[in-house]
A and B are shown apart, each in its own frame.
Chain A
Amino acid sequence: MSIRIKPRKDIHELIKETQIENDAYVPNIAICGESPCDDYGEDRLSCEDCPADTRLECLYDLRQRIKRDLIEAGCIAALFEEELNFEYASMDEKLTLRKKDVDLVLIIPTSIGPISELSSFAEDKIIRPKIRVLVPFEFHPFYGTSESYMTSVYKELMSDYGHVYPFNVHEEVHPDPLTIVSTLVSVYRRRKLLELTGNMNNKS
């Protein structure tokens, strides 16, 4: 190879310095959840061909909208999509989400695939603190009446970290998922920046 890039530790130091200098933390957020429907375009670029009311109820489109909002807000955000509609979290997916460069794992568990992913992530000590669950309010342990295996997973996550948030796409009593994500991420960024500056001050 004629060109190489300096080692990651150099990049890592530069990231820290640049973020502190610019008073900005750029989180990397993975968004897990519903797969696209069968009508989704082969080039996988957009859900925009669907009518607006269908899109409002579509949880894959919701993942896309969350991603767009986060990128616009200056974050790195990517959807984690499995091939062949595997109904479990692949080892690759877990290996990726365990890495330090991933800040948060947003997950909307509404069908068997994402639900089994969440169960698998929740058992992983490294991924567990990164998880932020957005659940339709009907299935939230405090606001819904539905009881299932997942209710106990939600309760466990809530007792450890509290990050299970009820949402309503029609934004009636419960907030819209985009509002929840925007609030959570904005506070997370400020907290991380404070941590970074705190660490730098302790060193000097």
Chain B
Amino acid sequence: MAFESDIGVIKLLKALDNSLRLKIVELIINSSLVSFSAIHEHLEHQIGREINRGTMSYHLDILVQSNVLHRELDRNPEVRTYSSYNITDYAIEKLEALGLLIHADEQTE
């Protein structure tokens, strides 16, 4: 029987096992808080086609529940709720430990 922490690592890895989600994480890991709309725009630009917002929400939900991203909600009762995303310390720590992060200076060596 696996420990909860091991399941956590598998979930994190599985969340990254999709090309769209990987692109989202690579965008966010290099930025601070990124809004839903900015992620949406970036992704459409990267893959050169439209993506509906339902699909975006689906992928972001997987990244949040797998503890890769943290979601911040900005509730404005007069307009609507905006969500923004940030990478979690947990994800950085695990990805670093698993040797999955490539830093720019490593690439140029």
Contact = CB atoms under 8 A, between A and B. Distances in A.
A153 interface: no
Interface residues of A, number: 39
B26 interface: yes
A96 B11 CA distance: 18
B75 interface: yes
Contacts, number: 124
A15 B66 CA distance: 14
Interface residues of B, number: 46
B78 to A, nearest CB: 11
B15 to A, nearest CB: 7
Contact of A5 (B3, B22, B61, B81): B22
A200 interface: no
B100 A3 contact: no
A74 to B, nearest CB: 5
Interface string B64-86: 01100000010100001100000
Nearest to A41: B81
A123 interface: no
Contacts of A203: none
Given A2-B104, A3-B30, 12 more contacts: A1-B26, A3-B101, A5-B22, A15-B17, A24-B1, A24-B7, A26-B10, A79-B61, A83-B52, A93-B55, A96-B55, A99-B18
Interface of B: 1-4, 6-7, 9-11, 13-19, 22, 25-26, 29-30, 51-55, 57-59, 61-62, 65-66, 73, 75, 80-81, 95, 98-104, 107
